[in-house]
Structure 1
């Protein structure tokens, strides 16, 4: 399959994170557009429209045994994400579909309309063992497409119907649409939410995460969730050296003031195609800082752009990573964050009835 080379069209598109349609690692042929000298004016950037394609999934619950993750099963209602966060570690997944992890990832989206149906089928199996299901582990379950498709909402309704615990990570203000549902689940200790706050700087947010809610809106979302009785955490992620790491303490303080009771952070991860895409983005938006940023990243990743080993991929190694961890721990201790565990209740789970099951009269 042909695709544009990473050196072509490497300019910022309004409202988009990636600055190119970098070819995925499985593509063995690329095309490059070159000037023939006849064009007098610079070529205008074409407006890139978002498309959404229906994907009929066969299964919906993904499982993992990673020691780095606080959950063993998850659901992703969407492939690709219009939020356009340039650092998103889910971008490489688009390469498996012969699409670019660059602009394709944030403009060529896929949704799973049968997700709730598949979920109920999975919960019905006698072999199923209840443990919290995580939403938002790959792409954001409250990205703009959710407003129309409402797949995340259908999943939550199914989980509530069978008293199944759920965790959510999002940076989308759309989660407040489902606040009544989440508040009811939280009363039964069946739900908690983490809101990702990467920066409090609106200009950096606009470049880094172009189609997401602003920093103030995310803090208001934390406040609304907390006031409704939903246990809420803040995810200071990713922490990017020499770009937003100086904000760590302020992000934690602001989130705690808004009502967050838990906090976590993740050092910038650059797996596979994310590394060259992030480098392009740096040179486009922060050229004077690009070399310094990547130097500290590599110092924290054993001399490479990324380390995939368990226990290291989330936190990194080296002096910068150690200082970052100390700063996080000291600030959390000062603010009273992470003082109690959020253990959701799995004992309430009601297995969906099998076909032919007799219903009790009492």
Structure 2
């Protein structure tokens, strides 16, 4: 009985249940991207240089004309407190007119800093060209910087920031997440036939046989009540439904820029031998002065001599033991003594040789 209890505890600890809300989304319930072009004013002399960004001056002239201010022709405005910016936001599902959303403001010119600026009224449009929100307000910049006599210190970015609740929704997006027969499409976050089948089984156990049917490796059809009031409660219980997902496929993610290597617990390796060596080339250049003898009529000539040495690090074969767990894999790879950049090449070679049972993903 003690052994059975221990095995049960290990099984429950290894396979944990998750809510369907974390594993899937309802088709049609999604955010929509918004974008707009506007002007940031009130900068402390850190705005766009108008000679290099003529669109800033043109935008300001057009805005002043709409406000009844006419700029005489031939007048070149020297602006230091104005910057042209791009404003982006994400319109959440079921957003209604009058609600507020956060916006991100980014400089598109050569402004040094947007700290302390105020965004003027900026229409935010969707992919269809319609205005869905209006943005305006004071921006919060998380960076800081200072410069003097050619020296400059900067922390984080000064050319972008956010305006909390900076946009007012003016138009709602119609969200129709139910088909004509009342069915709702549920889409899993990753394609997996096992997860779809487990989700269908969990839904049918909770709401009765035939409540859900699989469609493909990513989607399943759930038959919800026809009444809108009953459908909301049904979907609330559906999202709170718990299921045990299948194990992720073995994958190794490699960041080629930073040399970071991340692997999940499903990665396995076979016994293999790896020879790895570092090749370093050192060039040492020294100046040499050639001076002629006295009264010889020659002249002093300066030249350079270089000494080149090539050092190839130890490349002895190292045995990498096959492992049945992630700890064994890490221990075997660490025995090579390679840095993260070299480990990228080693993993690719092991994959080609068939010793690495995982999918390589380079980002």
TM-score, normalising length: structure 1: 0.17
The answer to which structure has the higher strand fraction is 2
Structure with larger Rg: 2
TM-score by length of 2: 0.17
More helix by share: 1
